[in-house]
Every structure is written in C-alpha cells, then in structure tokens.
Amino acid sequence: MTNHANMRWGENDKLGKSWDNCNVSGKIKTEFVTQLIAEDRPITFSPNLPNVHSPAEENVSILEIWGGQPLSGQVNVSGAKNSALVLMAGAVLCPEECSLRNVPSLVDVSCMSEILAALGVKVKREGDRLVINASTIGQSKAPYELVSQLRASFFVIGPLLARLGVARIPLPGGCAIGARPVDLHVRGLQALGAEVQIDHGIVYAYVTGVNKRLKGAKIYLDYPSVGATETLMMAATLADGETTIENAAQEPEVIDLANFCRAMGAKIRGAGTNTITISGVSRLHTADYSIIPDRVEAGTFLVAGAITRSEILVSPVIPDHLTAVIAKLQAMGVQVVKEGSHGVRVIPSQNILATDIETLPYPGFPTDMQAQFMALLTLSEGDSIISETVFENRLGHVPELSRMGADIRIKGNHAIIRGVPMLSGAPVVATDLRASAALVLAGLAANGKTTIQGLHHMDRGYEQIESKLQKLGARMHRIKSDAKLDDRSNDAVVLPSKPPMLNQHS
C-alpha cells in the first residue's frame, strides 16, 4: 500500500488526479482552485506547532489507534451533551428538586455540576441520572475558573436573573474555534428589562423594581444563536408577560430545553421553529425528564462505519435529527437505513464520492459534524469543498489530517479536499472537541499506528468512545505518556514537501 505520509506534494497527479481536472464542476470551485494556486505558500509544521494546552504537562494520556480494522455490530449512543448542559442550567429555574436522566458522564457535565454547586445548588449523580435541587441558591456569582473552562456555563445567567433578579457571570471569552461573543444573550436580556454592565470581564445583570421580575418582550435575534435562544427562553420562562423570540435557533437541543421547561410548568410554544413564544409563569415545579440521544455522537459513529467500510447499527437515535448528516452520507454513496424507530444502520460503499458541504444553523449541516466529514472526504474520489460558516476558526484539524497524508488546502473559511486512496498513521494533536473525533476516525481508517494527543478535548464530549469503538472491533487504547505534549520531533513523519497553505488568519 502506498504510504501517503511519505508522498510529496503534487504526487497525487501520478494517481491520475490533477487540480485542473476537478471532478466536481462549478464556478466557485474553479475560482478557489485558481486562487489557491496563485496564493500557495508553505507553512511551518512540527516541531513548532502551537501548543493547544500546557506544554509542560507531563504524564499526559495519548490514544493509540491501529487503523484498518473492520468494525461491526451495534453501538449505543449516549444522551446529548449539549442538551445535558443547558438542561442542567434550566433546572436552576425550579425551586424544587428535578431529575434529569440519560445524562452522559463527561468532563463538561462534571464542570457544569461544579458551577451549579458553587452557586449553592445541590447536584447528585445516580448512574445516568442527575438530581438537581436549586431550592436554595446561595450565590448569584459564578466562579471565573469554572466559567472559563466551559462556555455553556454562561447559560446560567438566564435562570439566575429569572430566579434572583441578579447574576454575575464572567465573560466566557474566546475558545479554540472562535471568538464566540455573548452580545446576543446580553441584548436579549436587556430587552427583557435587565440592566447589564460589563466590568473587568464580569457581566453584571440585574432587574430593578419591587418584584425584580423580568418583563416579556419581542426579541429579534440577528443570528439564530443556539446559546442566546436558550438563555432568553429560560429567562422569559419566569418573566412577567409574553416574550417572542424571532429568528430563534431551531436545534433539537432547543426543543429539548423547551420540553424540559414545559415539564416543569413553563408555557412555551414554537420551539423547533424560528419563532418561540413564552408566556411567563410565576413558579415552576419538580420534573423528571430524559435527555435526547446525542445526534453528534451518532453522526460520528455513522462516519466511523463509512470511513472503515463497515456496517454498524447506531442506536438509540432520533433519525429526524440526523437528516442533514444522512443526506450528505447518501450523496457520498453511503447508504443509511432506519432500523426500527430508534436505530440507523450505515451500509458502506467501497468508493466514497466527493461532495461539497456548508455548515449552517439547524436544519442545515451541523458545524459539530464538519471535522468528522472532512476526515471522511480525505478518502473520497475527487475534490470537495467544505465551507465553515458558523465559527470563524474551526479548521484546526486540517494540518493534523495533512500529517496523515490528507490533501487539503485552506482558503479563508473554506477547505478544499482532494481525496487520496489511503491515509497513513501519524502522531497528531486534537485542537478541539470535534477535531479529536475527526482524528480518531482518520486513525481508524489509516494504514498503521496513529497516536492522538489532546485527549482532554475528546473527554469533554464523547462518553467512553474508546470502549464503544473497541466493542465494534477497533484496535485502540489509551496510554500514559511521559513525553511532553507536541514533542513529535523524534517521529519519522515525512511531511509533503509543499504542505497545504494555512491562511485562515491572514
């Protein structure tokens, strides 16, 4: 088998491909290819890659994967991380004990539990159930150390304001995938009557008046932000009067939050459409609620089947939540069939067809599946363009996939992927949560051994991913490494002589 990590840039042409012969037509693609050639310039690779985390960290874990193993069988999907995090914040709206079931065991969930605990909320885990009791909230101020670790923790601002009339939350700041401001959250809360001051990095929001109650309002979101929709929906739940959120996010996790709030007695209509109406109530009551399956984890396993050419049954899922992902897999020649009411089976094809992808708010193609699909497209027949429109800096996996022999060039927020016949195992570093999944997928398909650093990203959002994949037949295990992070200088990886341009910051 050809070792593509040892190939030189341009050798793809010897495999019968040429940039001039893109098999996907279209003006945009032709323009990109022309611009890329014109602007082509080298970038510096290891050992000077930027550290994505503490370089001094010793005894870090790394994941070793021996690629090329076929997978088979059924894999269980955990509860949705993004639902769990926001529903935990939602439980703060309720002055009685609430139960959330199907809560995945993840670092992010533990971090959110700590934030709630710091506010005086009692959180207890019993298996996959979280019992949250916010009958007493002792603090309106969330600790910086915790909020800075988990952006989703900012979402407690809505419930705190609604319950106490005051909240002090540090700005979550940027993260690996972009600046991620909170202006839409803040402007929406102001529309609901909150005074908001941002001072020394702390958002201080409060409601004036005798009863310190927010007031229903008409809110139009400039962009259908998931987090802002969720923050405002929670805040409006206990407000005085009716709130409408227009251009609201329609993600399944928004519906899950609305359903949980409704189970606690909230009056919410239209969640899942672009207009949500909330009639404020004065108090919520206890509820026992089960979280939806994680559509991103499910999508990741579908890609695992496609990339290893293996048939896998993925369940439980809500197939409607995967419409865009399934449509793209089908466009790539991969069959996905529903099995029963809660399963989807991926039936692979030997040849993956190239396709273009643009990430969009739901029901468009999810940004959280972009990296995984890029891994798959590296092994497609032809050229594909992935356009990341949701976050400005979410292509960190590109240089790492390139280490494994992928042929990818970046132009702004677009990645142009030329399929290669085979990836080869290499030492790589995960730069964010979904990038880590993309590297695992690439490692499963690659020839030889891949070692992945930066596993703290993966542990934020994938519950027991190794054991789930091992059960399907993957050869992988986690080991402690004494090596410093990013120290790949001794690894005999020969990079393409003309590596892909990385100009998203230019």
Instruction: Annotate 84-96 with DSSP letters as a single string.
Output: HHHHHHHGGG-SS
CB of 231 to ligand UD1, least distance (A): 9
Instruction: Annotate 242-300 with DSSP letters as a single string.
Output: EEEEET----HHHHHHHHHHHHTT-EEE-BTBSEEEEE--S-----EEEPPB-HHHHHH
Long-range contacts formed by 169-172: CB under 8 A, 24+ apart? 169/141, 169/142, 169/202, 169/203, 169/205, 170/142, 170/143, 170/144, 170/201, 170/202, 170/203, 171/198, 171/201, 171/202, 171/203, 172/147, 172/148
Active site residue 111: no
> Exactly one of 255, 276, 390, 435 binds ligand UD1 (CB under 6 A); which one?
390
Nearer to ligand UD1, 84 or 312 (CB): 84
Listed in sequence order, the residues at least 6 apart from 88 whose beta carbon sits closer than 8 Å to its beta carbon are: 100, 109, 112, 113, 116, 123, 130, 132
Query: Should residue 182 be labelled a site residue for ligand UD1 when binding is judged by CB under 6 A?
Result: yes
Please choose, out of 55-63, 156-164, 218-226, 299-307, the segment that lies near ligand UD1 by the rule CB under 6 A.
Answer: 218-226
- Binding residues for ligand UD1, rule CB under 6 A, total 23
Q: Which of 469, 309, 482, 465 is nearest to 379 (CA)?
A: 309
Residue 196 to residue 145: CA distance in whole angstroms: 22
Taking a C-beta distance cutoff of 8 angstroms, is the pair 311, 317 a contact? no
CB of 50 to ligand UD1, least distance (A): 21
CB of 299 to ligand UD1, least distance (A): 12
Q: Which of 239, 205, 203 is nearest to 219 (CA)?
A: 239
> Exactly one of 40, 183, 195, 491 binds ligand UD1 (CB under 6 A); which one?
183
Q: How many Cβ atoms are within 10 Å of 320's Cβ, its own excluded?
A: 10
Q: Whose CB is nearest to ligand UD1? A: 227
Listed in sequence order, the residues at least 6 apart from 464 whose beta carbon sits closer than 8 Å to its beta carbon are: 78, 105
Query: Should residue 368 be labelled a site residue for ligand UD1 when binding is judged by CB under 6 A?
Result: yes
Query: Should residue 89 be labelled a site residue for ligand UD1 when binding is judged by CB under 6 A?
Result: no
Please choose, out of 39-47, 97-105, 126-134, 182-190, the segment that lies near ligand UD1 by the rule CB under 6 A.
Answer: 182-190
Q: How many Cβ atoms are within 10 Å of 90's Cβ, its own excluded?
A: 32
Nearer to ligand UD1, 272 or 343 (CB): 272
Residues 146-175 that bind ligand UD1 (CB under 6 A): 151-152
Please choose, out of 178-186, 238-246, 284-292, 325-333, the segment that lies near ligand UD1 by the rule CB under 6 A.
Answer: 178-186
Residue 278 to residue 271: CA distance in whole angstroms: 10
Residues 185-204 that bind ligand UD1 (CB under 6 A): 185
CB of 57 to ligand UD1, least distance (A): 25
Encoded amino acid at 35, one letter? Q
CB of 10 to ligand UD1, least distance (A): 35
Residues 248-277 that bind ligand UD1 (CB under 6 A): 249, 253
The catalytically annotated residue of 94, 98, 175, 261 is: 175
Residues 406-425 that bind ligand UD1 (CB under 6 A): none
Encoded amino acid at 359, one letter? T
Residues 437-496 that bind ligand UD1 (CB under 6 A): none
CB of 390 to ligand UD1, least distance (A): 5
CB of 244 to ligand UD1, least distance (A): 18
> Exactly one of 4, 17, 163, 180 binds ligand UD1 (CB under 6 A); which one?
180
Nearer to ligand UD1, 249 or 472 (CB): 249
> Exactly one of 102, 367, 450, 504 binds ligand UD1 (CB under 6 A); which one?
367
Position of tokens 């193993």? 69
> Exactly one of 134, 171, 226, 410 binds ligand UD1 (CB under 6 A); which one?
226
9 burial (CB, 10 Å; 0-12 / 13-18 / 19+) is: middle
User: How big is the chain by its Cα radius of gyration, in Å?
Assistant: 23
Residue 407 to residue 5: CA distance in whole angstroms: 10
Nearer to ligand UD1, 152 or 420 (CB): 152
Encoded amino acid at 249, one letter? A
Residue numbers of the site for ligand UD1 (CB under 6 A)? Answer: 82, 85, 151-152, 178-185, 223, 225-228, 249, 253, 367-368, 390-391
Which residues are catalytically annotated?
Answer: 175
